[in-house]
Amino acid sequence: MKIRKMKGKALALLAIALMGAAGTVAAIPAPGTCTAANQGQRVREYNSDNSSRIYMCDEGVWQTYAICDKYGRCIVII
């Protein structure tokens, strides 16, 4: 009985941690996709709260170009 309760609490804490992390994880586009053919291309990725990050292909590397809030206001980093 005690093991079941502990197992349930552990699963609940794991679920809460995963839900909290879901909105904060931003995935940079896959390595190798930034080539000479798409220099200057921008890719936008959205978070669960509708905020977003814009990545730009520059010299073979994806760099964070801007960070936007859920209202569409962006701060350009580069």
Instruction: Please check whether residue 66 is in contact with residue 74, taking contact to mean a CB–CB distance below 8 angstroms.
Output: yes
Q: For the chain, how many structural domains are there in total? A: 1
Instruction: Please check whether residue 9 is in contact with residue 16, taking contact to mean a CB–CB distance below 8 angstroms.
Output: no
Residue 15 has pLDDT above 50, yes or no: no
Query: What is the reported pLDDT for 24?
Result: 46
Query: What is the reported pLDDT for 9?
Result: 57
Instruction: Please check whether residue 23 is in contact with residue 49, taking contact to mean a CB–CB distance below 8 angstroms.
Output: yes
Range of the domain at 54: 2-76
The string of pLDDT tens digits covering residues 16-72 is 444 444 444 556 788 789 998 999 999 999 999 999 999 999 988 999 999 999 999
d(CA 16, CA 37): 42
Nearest to 62 by CA among 38, 19, 7: 38
